Amino acid sequence: MKKVYKPTTAELEILAVIWERETATVREIFEVIGARKPTIYTTVLKTLQIMDEKGLVERDKTNRAHVYRARIKQSDTGKQILRDVMQKVFGGSALKLVQQVLETEATTAEDLREIRKMIREVEKKA
């Protein structure tokens, strides 16, 4: 059975760029991350190489500039991370997790409408 790796914070930052663009070169990722915080090109390159070894990304070597694509889905990764947080921080309680989010983050009326709609849909299935 193949080992499943959980992305680190730095790897998630890189994956976010790739998920948004679908594919990206080291240079493109470096430029996006570098616009937000001081970043070294070789650090991005090395992290991508490690991510390739872990199976988090795949590299297309056909061109001079290697193009990276995510091998893990954003939705699957988000679900995995949320499950971990819910278990480790909130004792498995979805209620406590949602309470924390609503108390911590400003929520728009539109977001609240969508949340209510999602709750109704889940209730119908239950």
pLDDT score, position 46 = 97
Q: Kindly tell me if the per-residue pLDDT of 97 is higher than 80.
A: yes
Same domain, 75 and 104: no
Q: What is the domain extent for residue 125?
A: 94-126
- The answer to whether residues 51 and 101 belong to one domain is no
pLDDT digits (tens, 9 = 90+) for 26-44: 999 999 999 999 999 999 9
Identify whether residues 58 and 108 lie together within a single domain: no
- Which long-range CB contacts under 8 A does 27-36 form with residues at least 24 apart? 27/65, 29/68
Same domain, yes or no: 14 and 71: yes
Model confidence at 116, pLDDT cuts 50, 70, 90, reads: very high
Residue 1: predicted pLDDT: 52
For 6, 39, 74, 83, 95, the CA distances from 54, given in Å and listed in that order, are 9, 22, 16, 21, 34
| In the predicted structure, residue 94 carries a pLDDT above the cut 70 | yes
Question: Do 85 and 121 share a domain, yes or no?
Answer: no
Q: Are residues 82 and 21 in the same domain?
A: yes
Same structural domain for residues 76 and 104? no
